[in-house]
Amino acid sequence: MREIVFDTETTGLNALGGDRLIEIGCVEILNQIPTGRTFHAYLNPKRPVDPDAVRVHGLTDAFLADKPCFDALVDAFLDFVGDCPLVAHNAEFDRGFINMELGLCGKPVFAPHRFVDTLQLARRRHPNASNSLDALCARFGIDNSSRTKHGALLDAEILAELYIELLGGRQAAFALGAMEEAAAGAAAALHPIPARPRALAPRLTAEDFAAHAAYVDALGAKAIWARYRAPAEPERTADIA
C-alpha cells in the first residue's frame, strides 16, 4: 500500500486567522518501506512570518521572498500525493493548513478520513508519556541529531521511520528475514551441493613446515605461537588431475 508521510511549516498557528504554509515536505512509503521519492517546497506566504514561528523553523521573510506561491505548485503536489492516505504528526493541524491552501486555489479539500495521525497512534501505545517527535525518536532509538530546528522534509523523513515503528514494521522485517532463511534452507535441501569425491592434495611442502617451525622457535619460548606448533609434515600423495 502506498502512503505519504508529510509535515508542514507555517507562518503561525491559525489557519483560519490568516496564517499560511511556508514549507511542505512529503515522503513516499510503499508497504511500510520508504521508496526514496520525496516532494519538498518552500512557499512564499505573501504575509510576514510570526517571530515566534521563525524561532521554531528559522524561515524568515527574506528567505521566502523569492519562493513560489502555493498555487504555482499545487498541481505538482496533488500529483505526488495522489489519492493515498496522508500520515502526519498532529494531523488535524496540518490538515487545516493544507485544506485552507487548497480552498484558496479552488481545489477540492482532503477528507478527514484520508489522514493518519501518528500522535494518536503514539498516545494509544504510550498514554502516560511524552509523544513529541523528539521523545519518540529517543524511545525508538532513531537518530534525530540533525534536527536542530523544525524542517518539513527532515521531520517527514523522521516521522516515516517512527510511523513504521508504531506499526511494528521492524518486527515485520525480522519475520520476513526468517522466512527468507527458511526458503534458502529449503532450496539447499532440494539442490544440495555435491561433496568432493576426493580431498585436494595439500599445497604446503615439507620446506614450508620447516621454515614455519624455525620462525616460531626464533620468537622465543614465551611466544604465544609456540603453543600452536605446526602439524607434522603431511604424507606425500599423488597430485589429483
Q: Write the CATH number for 61.
A: 3.30.420.10
Task: Please indicate, yes or no, if residue 185 is contained in any of the structural domains.
Answer: no
Determine the average pLDDT of the residues in 71-99: 97
Instruction: Report whether 206 contacts 233 (CB < 8 A).
Output: yes
CA 219 to chain centroid: 52
Q: Considering the domain boundaries, does residue 186 fall inside one? A: no
Compare 168 and 241 and report the one with higher pLDDT: 168
Indicate whether 24 belongs to any domain: yes
202 — pLDDT class (breaks 50, 70, 90)? confident
pLDDT class for 182, splitting at 50, 70, 90?
A: low
Residues 104 and 210 in one domain: no
pLDDT at 238: 46
As a whole number of angstroms, the distance between CA 163 and CA 138 comes to 14
On whether both 35 and 133 belong to a single domain, the answer is yes
150 is catalytic: yes
Residue ending a domain, choose from 152, 171, 190: 171
pLDDT in tens, 102-116: 999 999 999 999 999
Domain boundary among 129, 154, 171: 171
**Is 132 in the same domain as 218?**
no
192 belongs to a structural domain: no
Position 151 scores a pLDDT of 86
Q: What local confidence, expressed as pLDDT, does residue 156 receive?
A: 95
Pair (215, 161) in one structural domain: no
Total count of domains within the chain: 2
Whole-number pLDDT of residue 146:
72
Q: Are residues 131 and 18 in the same domain?
A: yes
* Residue 184 placed within a domain: no
Residues 8 and 120 in one domain: yes
Task: Give mean pLDDT, residues 174-182.
Answer: 50
Entry pTM? 0.69
Task: Write down the pLDDT at residue 174.
Answer: 47
Residue 82 is predicted with a pLDDT of 97
| pLDDT for the residue numbered 210 | 84
**Domain presence at residue 53:** yes
Same-domain pairing of 146 and 73: yes
Q: How confident is the model at residue 191 (pLDDT cuts 50, 70, 90)?
A: low
238 within some domain: no
Task: Work out the pLDDT band at 220, boundaries 50, 70, 90.
Answer: confident
Strand partners of residue 82: none
First to last CA, the chain: 58
Asked if the structure places residue 239 within a domain, the reply is no
Per-residue confidence band for 216, with pLDDT thresholds at 50, 70 and 90: confident
Mean pLDDT of 172-180: 48
- Domain hosting 61: range is 2-171
**Residue 65 and residue 137 in one domain:** yes
* Residue type at 167 in one-letter notation: L
- In the sheet that holds 2-10, the strands lie side by side as 33-42, 21-30, 2-10, 86-88, 115-117
Question: 131, 151, 171: which is the final residue of a domain?
Answer: 171
Statement: residue 240 has pLDDT above 70 = no
* Residue 217 and residue 113 share a domain: no
User: Residue 144: what pLDDT?
Assistant: 80
pLDDT at 67: 98
Both 101 and 208 in one domain: the answer is no
Q: Provide the pLDDT for residue 184.
A: 55
Mark whether 39 and 113 lie in a shared domain.
Answer: yes
Q: Are residues 156 and 211 located together in one domain of the fold? A: no
Catalytic position from the list 57, 113, 126, 150: 150
Question: Is residue 48's pLDDT more than 50?
Answer: yes
